[in-house]
Amino acid sequence: MSNPSPVTNESIAPSNPEPESQHERNRLLRSIKGPLQFLSFWIAIALPFVHLPLLAQGLGDPNVTLTFVVLLTANVFALYVGHGYNQH
């Protein structure tokens, strides 16, 4: 029989403890994920209706073209964020 080790398990720290602030941050992110996906999903649905008047007006004016491109970029971003909404 061998002698027990003089080092106790209490003196050894866990290999990768998660800091409390990291745990709170993860909990916060999970709590806002659902509402953020909901909002992004419906924004992605509604934004194309805003594009229609701009397209009907024509994209000849640089300000209208810039507005269209910004709205199109926002639509793509909203599609990306909201793509997982209501998938259980």
In the chain, domain spans = 34-88
Note the pTM of the prediction, 2 decimals: 0.64
**Of 88 and 77, more confident:** 77
CA angle, 38 then 20 then 31, to 5° = 10
| Cβ-proximal residues to 80 (8 Å cutoff; 6+ apart), any chain | 40
CA-to-CA dists, residue 75 to 20, 32, 43, 65, angstroms: 36, 20, 7, 15
pLDDT tens string 15-55: 555 567 888 888 887 888 888 999 999 999 999 999 999 99
